[in-house]
Amino acid sequence: MNTTVEFARMNGLGNKILVVDMRGRKDRVTPQAAIALNAEPETAFDQIMAIHDPRLDGTDAFIDILNSDGSKAQACGNGTRCVVQALSAETGRKTFTFQTVAGILNAEEHENGLISVDMGTPVFAWDKIPLAEEFFDTGRIELQIGPIDAPILHSPSVMSMGNPHAIFWVDRDPMDFDLERFGPLLENHPMFPEKANITLAQVTSKSSLRTRTWERGAGLTLACGSAACASAVSAARTGRTGRTVTIDVASSPVRTPLVIDWRERDDHVVMTGPAEWEWSGSVDPLTGVFQRAAEPEAQAR
């Protein structure tokens, strides 16, 4: 077996993604390889999206997702858009169905280059998110950081979009908060037995939010698609917005907003946004040793 596979460095709204082609192989990208790749400036990433041969009839691929610390992720919306763009450039197709550990994802690339991903249905039950304590209403739970009488962050909305999320509502720009300091404390809080993605969300209108996310297993990230979905759903669920919102990701260098539609007819959450190909190369999925291609292939951008 060839020791190397092809991969592409891509980004979804600034979210750093490595799309690794594991089709035709039985092995996987190892946690050690992920950690080694993240240690290199050229390949530092938020998620690896490893494309495997389909395991279910009717699907196009199984997607294995790894965080930059080598841990497994259940969902990555921005990464899924990158996979769609890579496969669309390869095959000319526009619609795909993927299997992940979080379930089945349907996705489509539009004529304008934007990509929609059906992220499935949100989960609100405390034991399914999961939380360590029972809460009847997970739209607002008792959790805060800072002084008891003047907390810096408090009363998040919590839910799962295939992975656990806590949305803290703030009344000013999320960039004003020291999320690099608070993020690790909240991600690893005993309330979250499987850890959690931590998002600060500011409501800027009845149809728009501004967000910033500390991502479970990846840290401070430029963007997080599942967190954007969780923020939009939580805003609608708590009466802050309607069911369709635009998300201005405060930390992203890409100013194209995400559009999140929590569909009323089937409760599915559909995220639409951009993906960008940067460069390609080859990598050993066991060790993470990589080589950048001398001449990047032409790709749709």
Query: Which has the closest alpha carbon to 40: 284, 220, 205?
Result: 284
Residue 228 exposed, middle or buried by CB count within 10 Å (0-12, 13-18, 19+): buried
Q: Which residue has the tokens 């992220």?
A: 119
Distance CA 173, CA 152 (A): 14
Residues 201/208, Cβ–Cβ less than 8 Å:
no
For helices 77-91 and 225-237, what crossing angle results, to 10°? 130
Contact 90, 298 (CB under 8 A): no
Mark whether 82 is an active-site residue.
no
Q: Which residue out of 19, 36, 224, 232 is catalytically annotated?
A: 224
Strands, E, within the chain: which ranges?
A: 5-12, 15-21, 47-52, 61-67, 72-73, 95-100, 103-109, 115-118, 144-145, 153-154, 157-160, 164-169, 197-205, 208-215, 219-221, 244-249, 258-262, 269-273, 276-283, 290-292
Residue 224 is among the residues annotated as catalytic for this protein: yes
Q: What are phi and psi of 270, to 5 degrees?
A: -115, 125
The catalytic residue among 76, 86, 119, 198 is 76
The residues annotated as belonging to the active site are: 76, 224
